[in-house]
Amino acid sequence: MWISERVNNIKPSGVRKIFDLAKKVKDPIDLSIGEPDFDIPEPVKEEGILWIKAGFNKYTPSGGIPELREKVFHYLKNKGIKCEDVIITPGVTGGLLLALMVTLNPDDEVIIPDPYFVLYEYQVLLLGGKPVFVDTYPDFQLKEDRLRAAVTDKTKVILINSPNNPTGMVASRQELEMVAKVAREKGILIFSDDIYDRFVYDKDKERVYLGSLYENVLTFGGFSKTWGMTGWRLGYCAGPRKIIECMVTMQQYIFSSVNSFAQKAALIALDYDMGHIIENYRKKRDLIYEGLKDKYRVVRPEGAYFIFPEAPGGDGDSFVEKALQKNLFIIPGSVFSGKRTNFRISFAATEENILRGIEILRSLV
């Protein structure tokens, strides 16, 4: 057979089934997509166009253009993040793949709090590793006893995503210090997926970075969410120099290099204030939470742009199909979890669609 064994371990995303069902719905109210509903800021777009017209359209160095690597390095240092080097990657997705490729051996284990972003599991499986899930229900906070119970002599990485997709939760200092303590005791590497780091809504919520608490952290971030640059595929990873150097070497053979003009535009993006966008999303967070809290069992999201209510009756899969019958497009929680009790709503949408979605959701209880 021509198909490799590794592909047999990979099943199509559960989102595909919902997308197929949604195609049959005329003009659905789409609260499913994990993509900003705003465009790239004009100055950033203009910078990209300028460099395209100037002929900056060739391959770039495998680690990224030096000026962007340096700027990201200082950008992270100003946040207190400990790192020795930076690589520019094709999104956080590409950065995670490279990092796993240079750190995982067959049967190495990666601890992933559940719920989790779906690609974590399958990237680990593709590379011969073993994902080990730690239940964070019902409050979506990682408990020390559960984390320690998941650690074995094969544990290589603990992967933390805060703010979290799909729950919208932001890890507390206490929680992150606990993770760093366990990792330090056991000699474990931490991956910190900080792609939603600007999307933290409550002023009294302290924003703590794992990369500031422990030296053996790979910090992942990018330009897709904060600046709406999803299609430009641009991210970064920072951490210990030896790992970053290996990732640069691996990038030569996997992606060759990263989008040229997007890197130049990213230099402008890092200085562009998106505070007004974040404030708008805070209002959307309040709108969706206040509209659901008296009808659903739901944890108030503190960041990102997702909310993860429990489905009536505890069956998120069937509930999502019922919502589709009412023209509402949301995602079952089983896509992101070993449990099927919840469903994910994205409030990266117009206020009008959020209000229409709330009305339908309230009618389904």
Domains and CATH numbers, the chain: 13-40+274-363 (3.90.1150.10), 42-269 (3.40.640.10)
SS3 303: strand
Q: What is the pLDDT of residue 14?
A: 60
pTM given for the model: 0.95
**pLDDT exceeds 90 at position 3:** no
Q: What is the pLDDT of residue 19?
A: 66
Q: 258: closest CA among 54, 69, 34, 123?
A: 69
Q: pLDDT tens-digit profile of 107-154?
A: 999 999 999 999 999 999 999 999 999 999 999 999 999 999 999 999
How far is the C-alpha of 32 from the C-alpha of 329, rounded, in Å? 6
User: Is beta strand 155-161 parallel, antiparallel or unpaired with respect to 189-193?
Assistant: parallel
Q: What is the mean pLDDT of the segment spanning 251-271?
A: 97
Q: pLDDT tens-digit profile of 14-24?
A: 666 666 666 66
Q: Are 234 and 222 in contact (CB under 8 A)?
A: yes
- Return the percentage of the chain with pLDDT > 90, whole number: 90
**pLDDT exceeds 90 at position 41:** yes
Q: What is the pLDDT of residue 16?
A: 64
How far is the C-alpha of 78 from the C-alpha of 316, rounded, in Å? 41
Residue listed under structure tokens 């932001």:
170
Q: pLDDT tens-digit profile of 200-250?
A: 999 888 889 999 999 999 999 999 999 999 999 999 999 999 999 999 999
Element of type H or E holding 360: helix 351-363
**pLDDT exceeds 90 at position 26:** no
Q: What is the mean pLDDT of the segment spanning 27-43?
A: 93
Q: What is the mean pLDDT of the segment spanning 309-319?
A: 96
**pLDDT exceeds 70 at position 328:** yes
